[in-house]
């Protein structure tokens, strides 16, 4: 794994590049993570997926959106539109790194919504939505039921230690179904839980929610069947 920075001085993004093993397939994969606490819980799953994909000959780039993780910016600056721009920037970066002409976007939770919107990039020809958030208002409603949502004077809402910017909240209030820019034979939607809504045909695989804290551990469990399905689908 090779850490890197990309995206320019004004919007510097942190990424982790996992080169393809063997001769490579000529395909690159960009992984769009969840947001907030879900990003931390799912980190191990995303890392293992990257390693598995690289082992089958795919170059993989994981990255942090602006205002999250190791990227520049503040958490209060995060917007859905900005995350989509960051995903498209990541597509350009992996193409520059590898020369790949075919790029897949793999998004998790809110990252699936980001990936679906970023898939209009001309070099993206495959899209994977893992446990996608398909209904923004329903997602916000569940956040509102969380006992660890607090209102900090002068700093807005915080959910389990992460800010929920007002702009992002407004975007999610209107985000009900992600667009489907790619044909169904080039889109995989897969879930370890029953989806709230459907985008195309959502496959159900065994596994526990990996974006919440596992029993006795501070990270989510790795959903091996889901990881295997995504790797298998890429061939």
134-189: pLDDT as tens digits: 888 988 888 877 656 776 666 678 888 898 999 999 999 998 765 566 777 889 99
Which has the higher per-residue pLDDT, 200 or 15?
15
pLDDT at 121: 87
pLDDT at site 79? 96
How much is the pLDDT for 11? 95
Q: Answer whether 17's CB lies under 8 Å from 196's CB.
A: no
pLDDT at 26: 84
Supply the pLDDT for residue 152: 66
> What's the pLDDT score for residue 201?
74
Mean pLDDT of 184-211: 81
What's the confidence (pLDDT) of residue 101? 86
| Per-residue pLDDT at 208 | 87
Cα angle 90, 85, 88; round to 5? 35
Question: Which pLDDT score is estimated for 218?
Answer: 60
Q: pLDDT at position 155, please?
A: 65
Q: Residue 123: is its pLDDT beyond 60?
A: yes
Minimum mean pLDDT among 22-36, 90-104, 182-196: which range?
Answer: 182-196
pLDDT in tens, 39-59: 999 999 999 999 999 999 999
Q: What is the mean pLDDT of residues 60-82?
A: 96
Flag the least confident range among 77-91, 105-119, 193-207: 193-207
**8 A C-beta contact, residue 199 and residue 180:** yes
Reading phi first (left if > 0) and then psi (alpha if -120 to 50, else beta), residue 207 is in: left
Q: What are residue 215's phi and psi, to 5 degrees?
A: -65, 120
Task: Give the pLDDT score at 16.
Answer: 98
Half-sphere exposure of 90 (CA within 13 A, CB side): 36
């Amino acid at each position: 794994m090779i850490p890197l920075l990309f995206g320019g001085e004004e919007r510097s993004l942190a990424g982790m590049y996992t080169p393809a093993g063997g001769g490579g397939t000529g395909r690159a994969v960009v992984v769009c993570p969840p947001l907030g606490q879900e990003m931390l819980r799912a980190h191990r799953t995303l890392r293992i997926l990257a390693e598995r994909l690289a082992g089958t000959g795919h170059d993989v780039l994981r990255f942090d959106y602006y205002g999250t993780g190791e990227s520049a910016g503040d958490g209060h600056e995060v917007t859905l539109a900005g995350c989509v721009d960051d995903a498209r920037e990541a597509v350009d970066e992996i193409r520059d790194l590898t020369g790949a002409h075919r790029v897949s976007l793999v998004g998790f939770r809110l990252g699936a919504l980001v990936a679906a919107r970023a898939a209009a990039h001309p070099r993206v020809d495959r899209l994977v939505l893992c446990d996608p958030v398909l209904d923004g208002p329903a997602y916000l409603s569940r956040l509102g039921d969380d006992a660890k949502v607090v209102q900090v004077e002068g700093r807005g809402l915080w959910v389990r230690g992460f800010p929920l910017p007002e702009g992002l909240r407004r975007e999610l209030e209107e985000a009900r179904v992600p667009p489907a820019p790619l044909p169904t034979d080039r889109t995989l939607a897969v879930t370890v839980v029953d989806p709230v809504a459907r985008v195309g045909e959502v496959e159900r695989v065994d596994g526990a929610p990996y974006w919440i804290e596992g029993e006795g551990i501070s990270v989510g469990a790795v959903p091996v069947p889901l990881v295997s399905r995504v790797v298998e689908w890429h061939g």
